[in-house]
């Protein structure tokens, strides 16, 4: 029997809002049927693509044929739109960061519960291939027990020239890209956080951060460096992961990189000293080729549902959400902690994270 599709309206048809059309198209159970945006030319673009356009948010919410509202507006109005949509009986997908303040997410979730409507946040980078490779590497202990990892995204193009440069709209790179990297980090370990320190970059002179670096220590001993930069003309690796039996590196989005591990079939061979500047060193020499293996980066097979298929399954009570709201709330609290650590120039400890 053919199953009906859920009608979805996108609120906010900018870069990410319009991109959702491509992401949703493969879904057999969701269909983008309409668009609302406060900017006229964006509504004209939507109409040219064959979508129904609405003159107001109220018009969207009063349309009984609309099942789902997808929010892709600037961050500062996510809460208001989400609460209005849930109260109107619509299921809601919200772009990240879901809110600027963690308390605001709690308010949304109360309304979601009261209205018995599904609310999920589009943390799409849980499906990125590079992250899935690292997640698989850690779970299968391919380099032993991981004790340190570094996760970065860097470019040299500055902050996008729109509302992301403005504090009132929830701009800045910690909220824009940091929310992704921190979400990924917290999925890689079940441990609670022990301490956080951070520094925000303001090289570009905008009223929001143009990047940040945070050092996070977990109670199980894992340490992590999370870094976002928009002034890096030469980028550092996307991932650098150290384990008790080896090291893994993924250099960029093309998944270039390698894994170097101890060779289990060969006893350790002492490395030969190398010339290092004006001296010799064995300590900093590369491990001997005889006692190590160099392995390629291989894609990790994933059988989990797509975000949108999972969303439909949650609506129909068939699955648990792959992006749980409590996980999203924890990320927001960590972001708030990083802002606080940077402002105080302190190492924050005894955290309830």
What is residue 196's predicted lDDT score, i.e. its pLDDT?
98
* Residue at token pair 């018995």: 116
Q: Lowest mean pLDDT: which of 99-108, 111-120, 159-168, 182-191? A: 159-168
Which whole number is the average pLDDT over 120-143?
97
For 204-258, how does the pLDDT look when each residue is reduced to its tens digit (9 = 90+)? 999 999 999 999 999 999 999 999 999 999 999 999 999 999 999 999 999 999 9
Q: How far apart are CA 58 and CA 67, in angstroms?
A: 14
For 276-309, how does the pLDDT look when each residue is reduced to its tens digit (9 = 90+)? 899 989 888 888 888 899 999 999 988 889 999 9
Burial class (CB in 10 A: 0-12, 13-18, 19+), 23: middle
Question: Quick check: 91 pLDDT over 80?
Answer: yes
Q: Where do the DSSP E strands lie in the chain?
A: 6-11, 30-36, 52-53, 68-71, 91-95, 119-122, 146-154, 193-201, 211-218, 223-229, 239-243, 246-250, 257-262, 274-276, 279-281, 292-296, 348-349
pTM of the model: 0.94
Q: How far apart are CA 247 and CA 260, in angstroms?
A: 5
Q: How far apart are CA 195 and CA 193, in angstroms?
A: 6
Q: Which two tokens mark 317?
A: 């009570």
Question: Quick check: 2 pLDDT over 60?
Answer: no
What is residue 161's predicted lDDT score, i.e. its pLDDT?
76
Question: Quick check: 1 pLDDT over 60?
Answer: no
Which whole number is the average pLDDT over 131-149?
97
* Closest to 60 in 3D by CA, of 10, 6, 23, 112: 10
Question: Quick check: 339 pLDDT over 50?
Answer: yes
Q: How confident is the model at residue 110 (pLDDT cuts 50, 70, 90)?
A: very high
For 167-200, how does the pLDDT look when each residue is reduced to its tens digit (9 = 90+)? 989 899 999 999 999 999 999 999 999 999 999 9
Q: What CATH number has the domain spanning 126-256+297-303+334-349?
A: 3.30.360.10
What is residue 290's predicted lDDT score, i.e. its pLDDT?
85
First-last CA distance in the chain: 46
Q: How far apart are CA 223 and CA 194, in angstroms?
A: 10
Q: How far apart are CA 218 and CA 230, in angstroms?
A: 27
- CB neighbours (10 Å) of residue 317? 8
Q: How far apart are CA 301 and CA 255, in angstroms?
A: 14
* Closest to 288 in 3D by CA, of 254, 318, 263, 323: 263
The answer to whether 63 and 52 have CB atoms below 8 angstroms apart is no
The answer to whether 118 and 125 have CB atoms below 8 angstroms apart is no
Q: Where in the chain are the domains?
A: 6-122, 126-256+297-303+334-349
What is residue 346's predicted lDDT score, i.e. its pLDDT?
97
CATH architecture of 6-122: 3-Layer(aba) Sandwich (3.40)
The answer to whether 264 and 142 have CB atoms below 8 angstroms apart is no
How does the average pLDDT of the chain come out, rounded? 95
């Amino acid at each position: 029997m053919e199953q009906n599709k859920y009608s979805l309206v996108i609120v906010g048809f900018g870069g990410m809002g319009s991109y959702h059309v491509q992401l949703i198209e493969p879904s057999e159970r969701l269909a983008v049927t309409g668009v609302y945006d406060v900017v006229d030319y964006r509504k004209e673009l939507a109409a040219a693509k064959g979508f129904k356009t609405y003159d107001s948010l109220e018009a969207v919410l009063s349309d009984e044929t609309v099942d789902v509202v997808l929010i892709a507006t600037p961050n500062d109005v996510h809460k208001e739109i989400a609460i209005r949509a849930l109260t109107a009986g619509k299921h809601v997908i919200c772009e990240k960061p879901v809110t600027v303040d963690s308390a605001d997410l709690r308010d949304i979730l109360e309304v979601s519960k009261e209205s018995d409507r599904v609310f999920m946040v589009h943390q799409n980078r849980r499906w990125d291939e590079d992250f899935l490779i690292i997640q698989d590497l850690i779970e299968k202990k391919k380099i032993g027990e991981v004790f340190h990892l570094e996760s970065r995204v860097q470019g040299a193009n500055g902050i996008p020239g729109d509302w992301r440069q403005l504090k009132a709209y929830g701009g800045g790179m910690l909220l824009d890209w940091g929310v992704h990297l921190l979400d990924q980090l917290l999925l890689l370990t079940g441990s609670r956080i022990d301490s956080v320190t951070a520094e925000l970059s303001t090289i570009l002179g905008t009223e929001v951060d143009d990047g940040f670096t945070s050092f996070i220590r977990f109670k199980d001993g894992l340490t992590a460096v999370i870094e976002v930069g928009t002034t890096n003309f030469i980028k550092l690796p996307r991932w650098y992961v150290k384990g008790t039996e080896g090291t893994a590196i993924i250099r960029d989005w093309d998944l270039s990189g390698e894994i170097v591990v101890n060779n289990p079939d060969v006893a350790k061979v002492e490395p030969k000293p190398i010339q290092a500047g004006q001296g010799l060193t064995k300590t900093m020499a590369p491990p001997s080729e005889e006692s190590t293996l160099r392995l390629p980066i291989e894609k990790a097979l994933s059988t989990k549902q797509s975000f949108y298929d999972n969303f439909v399954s949650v609506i129909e009570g068939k699955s648990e959400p792959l992006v749980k709201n409590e996980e999203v709330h924890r990320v927001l609290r960590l972001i708030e902690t990083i802002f606080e650590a940077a402002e105080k120039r302190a190492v924050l400890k005894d955290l309830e994270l």
